[in-house]
Amino acid sequence: QLVEVNGSPCLKLTEDEEKMTIPGMKAIYRLYDAAGHPFMDLMALEEEPSPSAGQELGIRVLGRLGETTKVIPSTVEPLHRTYFRDGQVCEPLPSLPEVRTHAQVSLNLLNPAHRQLHEPQPYPVAVTERLHRLLLELRQGSH
């Protein structure tokens, strides 16, 4: 989905929070709890400093953007990788077996509450306060 035009962040308007585009160039992080299970994925603006393990973060969970939540990850894993830039491959692409292994390892790390087939616990995705402010500014500017 289109998130930036000529360096300016843009937004697709929709009433459904979970279907709207999140504007701007982003970095994505997976936050882990003390047991080693991922408990949330976090989107931040690309220029924001990376979250740190043991550091409290103020975040907004998609679907509940009206309230700030505080979390303290035990481990932080950057997820976003850039393989193509300006039409050129800038990092070697992983092989299909590597992609399959990575996906299987990621699934195995999930908390059983998220993996169970019957009434699984939703896995939250959140945005940083700074990305949330950008979202509000763009929404207000479009009215």
DSSP codes of every residue in 81-119: ---EETTEE-SPPPPHHHHHHHHHHHHHHS-HHHH-SSS
Instruction: Name the strand (E) or helix (H) holding 70.
Output: strand 69-71
Distance CA 24, CA 135 (A): 9
* Res 118 pLDDT > 60: yes
pTM greater than the 0.75 cutoff = yes
Distance CA 85, CA 91 (A): 9
pLDDT of 20: 66
Residue with the larger pLDDT of the pair 7 and 68: 68
- Residue boundaries of the structural domains of the chain: 4-89+122-141
* Res 13 pLDDT > 60: no
Q: CATH for 4-89+122-141?
A: 3.20.140.10
Distance CA 31, CA 18 (A): 20
